[in-house]
Amino acid sequence: MAEIKIKNVAKNFASYQALNDINLTVSDQEFMVLLGASGCGKTTLLRIIAGLETATQGEVWINDRRVDHLPPKDRGIAMVFQNYAVFPHLTVFENIAFGLRMHNHPSAEITKRVHRTAELMHIERLLKRYSGELSGGQRQRVAVARALAMEPDVILMDEPLSNLDALLRLEMRAELKGVLAESKTTAIYVTHDQVEAMSLADRISVMNQGRIVQASDPVDIYRNPAEKFVAGFIGNPPMNFLVADKRPDGRWTVGGQPYDGPSCAENTLDFAIRPEDVVLAETGIKAKVNVVEPLGAHLLVTCDVNGAQFRATLDSDANIGRGDTIALQPQLDRIRWFNPSNGMRQSLEKNDV
């Protein structure tokens, strides 16, 4: 049972506010991913949970125990660092055994656990080697094994795959997910890679400039971004935005077409739709095609709608060329609306998606 609660945590570096009123609960055995662009404060938050950094204010609770005054060793956490931090003067075996020795486990137990985790991470053959004799991927495995061997309540990982090449990253990603699900450890995983976040997470916390903007499961984040920032950050290519003007009858004009939308005081809203949620139609939003990129399964078409850029992924059989004017019809239940003044999503009262 390891639940993490972060309450009103803020962090200032001199006058720079790196974290701003962070509230987050990670439930037992959950795989939580902190996702955000570089510099948004992910590492800082992780280090505050680990005890490597002191919060300027706020509380950190692990297992109903307040831990923010405790040193890292007394928090029941283990951490995997971005550059692995494998001890260069120790063999792989001794690296994995390091934490167990510090906790005075009997040596038979240590040997057993080291071999078990090494087997789990497929590094049994490397136990006698030093870190200098390992590849990046192997070091990564040692770092994870070293953390897992501790059987911690919580495992914290800071961009653990970011230094690996693309293929290896894919392989390790799947493996990590399996291993962590198996170990039933609560995990907090930091990354700037949304695909990684989507594929690993039970829940994603999207961060922006020291704030958590939205914390939800991957599909919900993708379908129902809480803010325009999330909509523009998640998805590749990201969501399209068009200006919507209120009509006298309460509907909204988008690209010359009327759509049902929220009833609110605002006179303009941002209309948002994902590129894959539009289809080619007889009538619809008029778009002038600028670029056509055939991607095999579909065409990625970049167009211009009243001066705004708009991307659509269309069927690859569509016969479209540069300079064409096409009509695009959005899938109505996938349309989202954002308030341009604060960027928050404007919900429709009837079905609050």
Ligand X SMILES: Nc1ncnc2c1ncn2[C@@H]1O[C@H](COP(=O)(O)OP(=O)(O)O)[C@@H](O)[C@H]1O
List contacts with Mg ion (CB under 5 A): 43
To the nearest whole angstrom, how small is the minimum distance from the Cβ of residue 41 to Mg ion? Answer: 9
Smallest gap from Cβ 75 to other proteins, in A, equals: 8
Q: Hey, is 304 helix, strand or coil?
A: strand
Query: For ligand X, which residue has the nearest CB?
Result: 43
**Total binding residues for ligand X by CB under 6 A?**
11
Q: Residue 74 gets which letter from DSSP?
A: G
What is the rounded CA–CA span in Å between residue 228 and residue 240? 10
Cα-trace Rg, the chain: 24
Of the pair 36, 51, the CB lying nearest other proteins is at: 51
CA distance 224 to 236: 16
44 binds ligand X (CB under 6 A): yes
Q: Which stretch binds ligand X (CB under 6 A): 36-44, 85-93, 282-290, 336-344?
A: 36-44
Q: Which is nearer to ligand X, 22 or 164 (CB)?
A: 22
54 contacts ligand X (rule: CB under 6 A): no
| 53 versus 175: smaller Cβ distance to other proteins | 53
Segment near ligand X (CB under 6 A); pick from 12-20, 104-112, 253-261, 274-282: 12-20
Q: Which one, 49 or 312, has the nearer CB to other proteins?
A: 49
Q: 232 and 238 in contact (C-beta within 8 Å)? A: yes
75 forms part of the interface with ligand X (CB under 6 A): no
Q: What distance in Å separates the CA atoms of residue 78 and residue 88, rounded to the nearest whole number?
A: 19
Amino acid at 281: A
Residue 296 binding: pick among Mg ion, other proteins, ligand X, none (C-beta 5-8 Å cut-off by kind)? none
Q: Which long-range contacts (CB under 8 A, 24 or more apart) does 348-351 make?
A: 348/261, 348/262, 349/262, 349/263
Nearest distance from C-beta of residue 146 to other proteins, angstroms: 7
Class of residue 38 by CB neighbours under 10 A (exposed 0-12, middle 13-18, buried 19+): exposed
257 strand-pairing partners: 254
CA dist 95 and 44 (Å) reads 25
**Residues that bind other proteins in the complex, under the rule CB under 8 A:** 50-52, 71-73, 77-79, 81-83, 85, 87-89, 98-99, 102-103, 146, 150
Q: Least CB distance from residue 329 to other proteins, whole Å? A: 53
Counted residue by residue, the chain has a size of 353
Residue 239 Cβ vs ligand X, minimum distance, rounded to whole Å: 22
Q: Find all residues with CB under 8 Å of 260, minimum gap 6, and list them.
A: 251, 252, 332
DSSP designation for 238 = T
Nearer to other proteins, 103 or 322 (CB): 103
Of 37-45, 107-115, 231-239, 288-296, the window that binds ligand X (rule: CB under 6 A) is 37-45
**Residue among 120 and 190 whose Cβ is closer to Mg ion:** 190
Residue with smaller CB distance to ligand X, 72 or 340: 72
Cα separation, 25 vs 132, in Å, equals 39
List of residues contacting ligand X (CB under 6 A): 13, 16, 18, 36, 38-44
